[in-house]
Amino acid sequence: MSDPKGFLKYPRQTPPYRPVEERVFDFQDVIHSEVFTQEQTREQATRCMGCGVPFCHNGCPLGNLIPDFNEAVYHEDWGLAYQLLAKTNNFPEFTGRICPAPCEHACVLGINQDPVAIEHVEQAIIETAFARGLVQPRPPVHRSGKKVAVIGSGPAGLAAADELNRKGHTVTVYEKDRYPGGLLRYGIPDFKLEKWIVERRIRLLEAEGIVFQCGVEIGLDLTTDELLRHNDVVLLCIGAARPRALNIPGHELPGVHYAMDYLTQNNRRVTGESFAEPDILAAGKHVVVIGGGDTGSDCVGTANRQGALSVAQLQYRPRPADERSDYDPWPLMPMTLTTSSSHEEGCARAWEVQTKSFVSAPDGRVKGLVVADLIWEKDSTTGRYVFREKPGSEREIPCDLALIAIGYRGVAPGAIWEQLDLLPDERGLIPGEDYRTAHPRVFVAGDARRGQSLVVWAIAEGREAAAVMEEQMKVKM
Ligand SMILES: Cc1cc2nc3c(=O)[nH]c(=O)nc-3n(C[C@H](O)[C@H](O)[C@H](O)COP(=O)(O)OP(=O)(O)OC[C@H]3O[C@@H](n4cnc5c(N)ncnc54)[C@H](O)[C@@H]3O)c2cc1C
């Protein structure tokens, strides 16, 4: 273990956020990582108690070897730290920046102190490894002769492609968008994840032999039959970004948009990619984000950077508690209130609010949103919480741009379903127990299988699916 008294000597510290008044004028990373020294990072790694039973392993879907890499950082052995991290995590440069860090919520120190800053240490290890030239393309020495097609280039597809390529299989990733990365590129804003970081990893994967065919929609531009004819196995990592609709009167008015359309367009704009759709911009507008999750929070940050007059975020559920309760004790992920960097930049957050109808201006565009407060109470017969409208609370709030971020309904419809004769489950996802679909040579992983989730889960799913596919190729083919 590192210094056994490290956690008594050093308080938790992480790199500072750039001042709000600076960062809201650009789309660069909100965190000033470069001002944090390696010595400071070492102190943070030293806080790790090297627990006999490291709950953090279990908290992390990838099972990252956290106490081990913390110890290597304590000894300033960055090479070893990188090797340990890369054993379980294909892309620490993504998770080290945007993971909600379930590992930290499971850290034993977190029972009565601030947990170890695991996410930051992870980012420092991978960036040090890149800076020292330790992350080099390592193409496989032998090719197996087996061919794999991965459909979708989000973190699940990339992780699976990486794993299978390392085993020597010839991997082609098909992506319908212009560039690879999935939601890493087109969903998550640059202020959380700058796109050169995605690009850097794609270049590495290409140098290791993975072929990316972008602008190819499987099902449309190429049938799954064609793919199966030319490949031994096929993996579906097509995400689950079909938005949930808000079917209230006026939802079709100009100025009412799905959050993902808004975020995708802005990500294209920031990287200078052209797009055909009319601009969706928040500048000079009263913006209302409907939905309290991460997608909504990303809309808040984007709208403020675009120069919105005001930004409100509405949520129909009650405000989460500040502290853990009996329902989410340590080491579970807490269901407590999260305040993102975007919220800190300016946002009126409201809970227990029902959206009733959009109101149009004389020019036909949206100009307002009728809302009402809700009262949540326990139903005495079912024991479930139900809501009712608070009498007299109905009112109109200004709204020139509404961004709907109320969740997802599973995998988008497309020809793939029909061509592979697949049926969605009750959540609109592709059933895939043990990552196998109903088709014997087709597998599924990532959000398409588990529903909208996290990058860390997508990587874990990609890795596990790759192991199952590898087994099948060894045994049956
Ligand atoms: C706005 C937003 C913010 C988020 N922020 C975070 C965060 O901060 N931290 C975090 O951990 N998670 C975050 N997530 C969740 C995370 O991005 C996803 O869980 C993760 O990207 C899922 O990975 P995936 O590979 O399964 O799917 P995706 O990333 O959705 O990739 C699927 C890919 O498949 C492609 N595709 C689909 N159909 C076809 C086809 N027929 N042919 C070819 N290609 C196809 C799509 O174009 C896409 O590129 C966020 C999600 C959203 C929407």
Q: Locate 420 and state its tokens.
A: 């592979």
Q: Kindly report the CA angle at 206 between 196 and 188, in degrees rounded to 5?
A: 35
- Other beta carbons within 10 angstroms of residue 272's beta carbon come to 6
Mean pLDDT of 379-390: 93
Domain shared by 234 and 107, yes or no? no
- What pLDDT, on the 0 to 100 scale, is given for residue 188? 98
- Report the amino acid identity of residue 393: S
> Rounded to whole angstroms, how far apart are CA atoms 287 and 272?
24
Whether 429 lines ligand 1, by a CB cut-off of 6 Å, is: no
Q: Name the pTM for this structure.
A: 0.97
The predicted-structure confidence for 441-455, as pLDDT tens digits, reads as follows: 999 999 999 999 999
Distances from the Cα of 377 to the Cα of 31, 93, 389, angstroms: 40, 44, 11
Buried b (16+ CB within 10 A) or exposed e, 152-187: bbbbbbbbbbbbbbbbbbbbbbbbbbebbbbbbbbb
For residue 444, how far is its CA from the centre of ligand 1 (angstroms)?
Answer: 14
Residue nearest to atom 41 of ligand 1 (CA): 218
Residue range(s) defining the domain that contains residue 70: 6-131
Sign (positive or negative) of CA dihedral 369, 187, 64, 66: negative
461 lines ligand 1 (CB under 6 A): no
Distance 26 CA to ligand 1 centre (A): 24
369 and 267 belong to one structural domain: yes
- Taking only the tens place, the pLDDT of each residue in 103-135 is 999 999 999 999 999 999 999 999 999 999 999
CA 156 to chain centre: 11
Close Cβ partners of 293 (under 8 Å, ≥ 6 residues apart): 405, 407
- Ligand 1 pocket residue status of 460, Cβ below 6 Å: no
Based on the domain organization, do 211 and 340 belong to the same domain?
Answer: no
Whether residues 395 and 444 fall in one domain:
no
Which residue in the block uniquely carries the two structure tokens 């895939």? 432
Q: End of a domain among 341, 372, 404?
A: 404
pLDDT digits (tens, 9 = 90+) for 211-258: 999 999 999 999 999 999 999 999 999 999 999 999 999 999 999 999
CA of 422 to the centre of ligand 1 (A): 21
Half-sphere exposure for 289 (CA within 13 Å, toward CB): 33
Angle between the N-to-C axes of helices 66-74 and 38-46, in degrees from 0 to 180, rounded to the nearest 10: 130
Segment 93-107, tens digit of pLDDT: 999 999 999 999 999
pLDDT tens column, 266-311: 999 999 999 999 999 999 999 999 998 899 999 999 999 999 999 9
Pick the last residue of a domain from 351, 369, 404: 404
Residue 359 near residue 366, CB atoms below 8 Å? yes
Given this model, what pLDDT does residue 219 score? Answer: 97
DSSP state of 258: E
Q: Check whether residue 315 and residue 265 sit in a common domain.
A: yes
Phi, psi angle pair for 406, to nearest 5°: -105, 25
* Backbone φ and ψ of 366, nearest 5°: -70, 140
* Same domain? 295 vs 229: no
Please give the average per-residue pLDDT across 20-48, as a whole number: 95
* Number of domains composing the chain: 3
Q: Is residue 72 included in any domain, yes or no?
A: yes
Per-residue pLDDT, 1: 67
- Residue 263: both structure tokens together: 């975020």
Question: For 353, how many CA atoms within 13 A lie in the half-sphere containing its CB?
Answer: 22
Mutational test site, ligand 1, from 95, 264, 455, 456, max ligand atoms within 8 Å of CB: 455
Question: What pLDDT, on the 0 to 100 scale, is given for residue 477?
Answer: 58
Evaluate the CA torsion angle 91, 95, 98, 99 in order and state its sign.
positive
Confidence band, pLDDT 50/70/90 cuts, at residue 205: very high
Do strands 366-378 and 385-389 pair parallel, antiparallel, or not at all (unpaired)? antiparallel
On whether both 24 and 68 belong to a single domain, the answer is yes
Instruction: Give yes or no for residue 161 CB within 6 A of ligand 1.
Output: no
